[in-house]
Structure formats: structure tokens, C-alpha cells
Amino acid sequence: MKRLLVANRGEIAVRIIRAARDLGISTVAVHSTADTDARHVRLADAAVEIGPPAANKSYLVADAIVEAARSSGADAVHPGYGFLSERAAFAAAVSDAGLAFVGPDAAVIDQMGDKVRARQVAAAAGVPTVPGTPGGVEDVAAAVAAAAEIGYPVMLKAAAGGGGRGIRVVDDEAGLREAFPAASREAANAFGDGRMYLERFVRRARHVEVQVLGDGSDAVHLFERECSLQRRRQKVVEEALAPGIDAGVREGMTAAAARLAREVGYRSAGTVEFLVDDETHEFFFIEMNTRIQVEHPTTELVTGVDLVAEQLRIAAGERLSRAQDDIVARGWAIEFRINAEDPTRGFLPSPGKVGTVELPAGPWVRVDTWLESGATVPPFYDSLLAKVVVWGEDRESAIRRSRRALAEFTVEGVPTTAGLHTEILDQEWFGAGEFHTGALEQWLSEREEPA
């Protein structure tokens, strides 16, 4: 690999260019006409304009990007996250053009992108999935038998129905016997099909994901990240490791993720997402993300492994550089996503011209960003301005250092979510690591209510 085209923009394009340069690989940026002066364009050794501002006319046009790689003499393409990163057809087009795709094979992207097939792979690898009755059950007796296997509380919904219509949660067999007939009758009336689908209901769930690296024949894990703090399904704060799981869960979950990666012959960096029942400590496979993730720096800070560099080495045909036993987690890392959004106006996106920018620095503080004084935040792409990532020898010192780092962060001209993070840091539930996937939105709505 001599010349890498980075098929992305923003902070991740900057991040990938840096990793390539560290390995002595030259880089080609692509950009829309809105990003002509962007940081990633200036950092790269060469740049190719690929279209007008709208992503579907530039960063999402696979042909334009493959052509840019060809014309600029690149021999590899890194898709970053978002945009074309999980489109199997793009990975195939890159390979067909004789270039290395920095990611898994198109067939694996396809396989893991399909919920049903991904679940089958998980089952084959002995990775637990949320217990349920995929085919549905017809009567109370069958439901009671199925629920005994699944374990209570159980969620009951019409097998033929979509969305959240008619969903009931029952806590025990008596509740199920009472709820089933009416629910089934409703389903029959609404859909002409009275069969009910049963699934374990997780009242308090955590979103925990495991980082994996594979070279096509072997795979290792790099421990987990806790990503439960979300707003509208967008992660806000992530950390490595996960505060809410014990050593047993950690061991089981990380081993399961590595098994899954091995089962599919995974090549590159990937993330196996799990839902953890905060009450029973069971974990269930949700899906696999076949790309580098926004929150990957937290894993890098606790393991000392440059995940993007590993992706590049693996795409160049190298084997995994470390055995599982050589990967250890040290200390704690927290990432804060700072978005150009106004928390006082319902998180209204706030593009525009930026004034002075001052970024935190100092011991064990890393800022991944494209932002600089005088830059313009374009309205066409996501609102991520910067990721402030902080390491500490334990969670408590990481939190303390995070307060210091966030206080150093200044952006003039556009509202950001930086202040919100400072507030989150001061919440008791955050300090105690006691939260779940609904916790942040619950706190935000309580916070909005007038005192």
C-alpha cells in the first residue's frame, strides 16, 4: 500500500490521513465543493473534487470516488464511517477496480448487514441473541411454554404486525394467561392473523459493544465500550471500559465477539454490539458494524493499539500484529462528542462561521477534529465538530480530567453541546456509572421542566 484514498470528510478523514502518514503511506482526499478549504483536504498529499455539496452528489457517489482513486494513482480506499462505509456494492466496486478496500470483504458486509443472517451467524458461533419465538405462537398453551423457555418479563406483539402497535409486556405466567387472548384477538382483527410473537423484554438495557480486529483467518478482541448514553439513537458520551458489567460478563462477551469475527472470517476492524440486561447481567448480540466507529479512540487509549493503522496493515495483507494475550486494557477513557447543536433550542443544528477555536490539550487529552479558527461548519453533513477523548488511570481520574479538558474547550460563533457534557459529568448517576439506554433522554426531559 503506497497511496491511500480517503473516501470521507471531517474528523475521521483527518484521523485516517494521520494514521496513513504515520505508516509512510501517501494520501488522497476527496471533497465536495463545500469542503474545498477543509482541513482534510489541506492535510492530504493530493485532493480530488468529486461533486456539489449534497452528500448524494459527492461523498455518496461510488463511481466518482473509484474514478478519483484511479486518476490519482491510489492503490487503496478507506471508507471511514457513515457514507459508503457499509455498502457492500462499494467495497466490491473498489476491489473490482484492483484496489484494496480497507474493510471486510463485500460478502461479509452483506452478511452482517442482514439482521436475519447476522443472527444465524451469531447462533452458529454460540453467541446469545435476544430469546424469542421467530415463528410466533398460536395459543395460550404454546405461549406459556415458549415464555418459560424465554424467561420473564416477556414482550408480546402481533407476529403479522409492524411497529409498536399492540405491544404488551407481561411479568409472569398469570399475566401472560390474562393478556394473551385479548392481544391475539386484536391481532386477528387487525391483521387477519392471531399469532403472537414473544420476546424477552429488557427493562433496563445497556448498550455495550466489543471492538474486534480480524485478518481473515484469526480474530482478537480489544475489550468493550459502554455506549448507553444516547439521544435519538445517537451516542453522546462513550467510554472504555464499561462501568456497568463485571469481570464475568466482560470475559464472556469479549470472547463471544472474537468467536463471531472468526466465524465469518472477518478482516479489518469491526464492532460487535450487545444489549446487556442491567438486572440479570445477561448479554445478547444485536448487530455487527463492519467499519471503524466514531468512538474508536477510547479503545485506542486503553489498549495502546492504533486501530486505523491496524486496518491499513491488514488491508495491505499483513497478519494480526498482536496475539490476544498481548492486548491488555490499562486505565479508563471517555469520549465526549461535541456537536454544532444548540441544547437550549431542542438541539437545533447550528451550522455557520466559526470564530476563535481553542482546543483542550495537555496530559492524556486527545482531540479528534477538523475544526479550526475561522472555519465554516457546513449545513450539509453531520453536526460532529470534535471528539474530546480523555484517559485516566481509573474512571474517577478520567472524569476529573474530563472536567479540566472540557473547560478548556472554546468555540465562538456557533452553539455547541460542550457545556452539556460538563453538566453530565456532574450528575450523580454518571459518576456512579448507573445508567442505561433511556437514561440520557430521561435526564434531558427532566432538566427541561421548569423548576
Partner 1 sequence: MSRIEVVSPIPGVFYRRPDPDSDVFAKEGQPIGADDTVCLVEVMKSFHPVPAGAAGTLVEFLVENEDVVDAGQAVAVIEAG
191 binds partner 1 (CB under 8 A): no
What is the distance between the alpha carbons of residues 222 and 134, in angstroms, rounded to a whole number? 32
107 binds partner 1 (CB under 8 A): no
Q: Of 436, 396, 242, 433, which Cα lies nearest the Cα of 329?
A: 242
| Selected binder of partner 1 within 2, 37, 42, 54 (CB under 8 A) | 54
340 binds partner 1 (CB under 8 A): yes
What is the distance between the alpha carbons of residues 239 and 223, in angstroms, rounded to a whole number? 11
Between 278 and 341, name the residue whose CB sits nearer to partner 1. 341
Exposure string for 13-26, b = 16+ CB within 10 A, e = fewer: bbbbbbbbeeeebb
| Selected binder of partner 1 within 186, 199, 263, 382 (CB under 8 A) | 382
Between 29 and 385, name the residue whose CB sits nearer to partner 1. 385
**Closest distance of CB 350 from partner 1, Å:** 8
Helix (H, G, I), strand (E, B), or coil: what is residue 400? helix
Determine the interface stretch with partner 1 among 58-66, 131-139, 195-203, 376-384 (rule: CB under 8 A): 376-384
**Closest distance of CB 197 from partner 1, Å:** 29
How many CB atoms are closer than 10 A to CB 37? Answer: 11
**Closest distance of CB 10 from partner 1, Å:** 11
DSSP H helices in 38-105: 39-43, 62-72, 88-96
| Selected binder of partner 1 within 383, 416, 417, 437 (CB under 8 A) | 383
| Selected binder of partner 1 within 128, 243, 331, 349 (CB under 8 A) | 349
Exposed / middle / buried, residue 175 (Cβ in 10 Å: 0-12, 13-18, 19+): middle
What is the distance between the alpha carbons of residues 258 and 263, in angstroms, rounded to a whole number? 9
The one catalytic residue among 225, 291, 313, 401:
291
Q: Is the peptide bond before 385 cis (omega within 30 degrees of 0)?
A: no
Helix (H, G, I), strand (E, B), or coil: what is residue 59? coil
| Selected binder of partner 1 within 81, 152, 191, 380 (CB under 8 A) | 380
Between 202 and 411, name the residue whose CB sits nearer to partner 1. 411
What is the distance between the alpha carbons of residues 393 and 380, in angstroms, rounded to a whole number? 39
Determine the interface stretch with partner 1 among 265-273, 321-329, 347-355, 423-431 (rule: CB under 8 A): 347-355
DSSP H helices in 210-331: 247-263, 296-303, 307-315
Q: Of 106, 136, 100, which Cα lies nearest the Cα of 7?
A: 100
Length in residues, the chain:
451
Catalytic, 291? Answer: yes
| Selected binder of partner 1 within 73, 304, 355, 379 (CB under 8 A) | 379
Determine the interface stretch with partner 1 among 20-28, 95-103, 354-362, 381-389 (rule: CB under 8 A): 381-389
| Selected binder of partner 1 within 381, 391, 430, 435 (CB under 8 A) | 381
**Closest distance of CB 32 from partner 1, Å:** 12
Residues designated as active site: 291
What residues make contact with partner 1 under the rule CB under 8 A? 53-54, 340-341, 348-349, 351-352, 379-383
